[in-house]
């Protein structure tokens, strides 16, 4: 598998977070910030998570400077827990991600409802270090814990009619109080074309920085599609549906002129209200010049072939 890296000239060696710093995560968390962040202790970990100290690193990684755990868990888009960037962390204690089950439906041979442990158990968890680029113009580099989306989808044997995969977030106002406000059409829905979903890059993430996924980051399980804008990486998934027709996704349905179904990171396609040509990496000083946005968020070698012959301005 290809190792995904930035050019060495882009990064100083002194800026790269040593693996030894973030792998000892619990010591780091105790020293770095207060317990207001909702993160699991050893006693809270489910059985399937207790092997995470022996986590293997995927060959899918970048040598970009990794964003701090504090920034990753305190600057979030998760409207189900509030529309402000700090709201999800502030409201994370309201959300209890237990119990949890995932329904698999539609054009597949092995549908059903699965509890979270059974859903995750067949797959080897690995660490994937991916860039995340948000449509507002900010970005992070996150060490996710997860497993291949493609391998997971194959388990359910999609049939020849399965041209798309639709994902749906939990709908529960008692656990996700942001859903009491009609800022979006709940529940949140996202989708991928089946060949996009079967690409080796997308993962189902169940953790970050070697630990269980915090509530504000989409606990207990979320999608990560690194070449697309962050809103495509749907959080707190409770349903996966194989479908022959393109799903009606939340942001595309709400504002189709601003949020296309594909939502590939493309610096040549501006958002109607701002340019997408540059980005601000969270954690870097504001006096530092913004970065130039890369096509497909820097993953063109792995995914550009998926869009051969397509007009990527029209199909944004």
Q: What is the pLDDT of residues 94-129, one digit of tens each?
A: 999 999 999 999 999 999 999 999 999 999 899 999
137 located within any domain:
yes
Average pLDDT in the 235-244 region? 98
2 located within any domain:
no
168 located within any domain:
yes
Q: Give the three-class secondary structure for 228.
A: strand
Predicted local confidence at residue 55, as pLDDT: 83
Average pLDDT in the 210-229 region? 97
Assess whether pLDDT exceeds 50 at residue 69.
yes
Q: State which residues form the domain around 300.
A: 21-307
Least confident range of 10-14, 56-60, 149-153, 199-203 = 10-14
Angle at 178 between CA 249 and CA 146, to 5 degrees: 60
Predicted local confidence at residue 53, as pLDDT: 62
Q: Alpha helix (H) ranges present in the chain?
A: 19-23, 25-32, 69-72, 87-91, 116-120, 149-155, 194-197, 250-254, 300-303
Q: How confident is the model at residue 56 (pLDDT cuts 50, 70, 90)?
A: confident
**CATH number of the domain residue 146 falls in:** 3.90.420.10
Burial environment of residue 48 by CB neighbours within 10 A (0 to 12, 13 to 18, 19 or more): middle
47 located within any domain:
yes
Instruction: Pick 187 or 47 by higher pLDDT.
Output: 187
226 located within any domain:
yes
Q: How many domains does the chain have?
A: 1
Instruction: Pick 90 or 54 by higher pLDDT.
Output: 90
315 located within any domain:
no
Predicted local confidence at residue 7, as pLDDT: 44
Distance between CA atoms of 164 and 224, rounded to whole angstroms? 16
Q: What is the pLDDT of residues 249-283, one digit of tens each?
A: 999 999 999 999 999 999 999 999 999 999 999 99
Assess whether pLDDT exceeds 80 at residue 187.
yes
Contacts (Cβ under 8 Å, ≥6 apart) of 77: 85, 88, 134, 230, 231
6 located within any domain:
no
Phi-psi label, residue 277: left if phi above 0, alpha if psi -120 to 50, beta otherwise: alpha
Please identify which residue in the block is written with the tokens 């959080």.
Answer: 235
Task: Give the rounded percent of residues in the chain with a pLDDT score beyond 70.
Answer: 83
Instruction: Pick 193 or 1 by higher pLDDT.
Output: 193
14 located within any domain:
no
């Amino acid at each position: 598998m290809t190792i995904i890296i930035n050019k060495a000239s882009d990064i100083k060696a002194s800026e790269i977070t040593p693996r030894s710093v973030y792998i000892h995560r619990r010591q780091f968390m105790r020293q770095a910030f207060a317990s207001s962040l909702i993160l699991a202790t050893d006693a809270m970990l489910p059985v399937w998570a207790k092997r995470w100290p022996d986590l293997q690193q995927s060959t899918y990684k970048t040598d970009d400077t990794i964003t701090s755990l504090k920034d990753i868990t305190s600057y979030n888009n998760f409207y189900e827990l509030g529309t402000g960037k700090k709201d999800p962390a502030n409201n994370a204690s309201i959300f209890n991600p237990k119990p949890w089950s995932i329904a698999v439906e539609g054009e597949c041979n092995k549908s059903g409802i699965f509890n979270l442990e059974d859903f995750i158990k067949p797959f080897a968890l690995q660490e994937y270090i991916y860039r995340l680029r948000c449509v507002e113009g900010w970005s992070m580099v996150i060490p996710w814990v997860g497993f291949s989306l493609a391998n997971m989808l194959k388990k359910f044997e999609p049939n020849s009619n399965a041209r798309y995969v639709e994902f749906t977030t939990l709908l529960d106002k008692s656990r996700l109080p942001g859903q009491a406000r009609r800022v979006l059409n709940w529940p949140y829905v996202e989708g991928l074309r089946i060949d996009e979903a079967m690409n080796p890059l997308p993962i189902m993430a169940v953790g970050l920085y070697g630990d269980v996924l915090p509530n504000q980051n989409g606990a207990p399980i979320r999608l990560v599609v690194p070449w697309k804008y962050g809103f495509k990486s749907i959080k707190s998934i409770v349903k996966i549906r194989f479908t022959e027709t393109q799903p009606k996704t939340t942001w595309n349905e709400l504002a189709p002129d601003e949020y296309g179904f594909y939502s590939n990171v493309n610096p040549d396609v501006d958002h109607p209200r701002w340019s997408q040509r540059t980005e601000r990496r969270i954690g870097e000083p504001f006096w530092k010049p913004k970065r130039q946005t890369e096509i497909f968020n820097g993953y063109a070698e792995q995914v550009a072939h998926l869009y051969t012959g397509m007009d990527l301005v029209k199909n944004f």
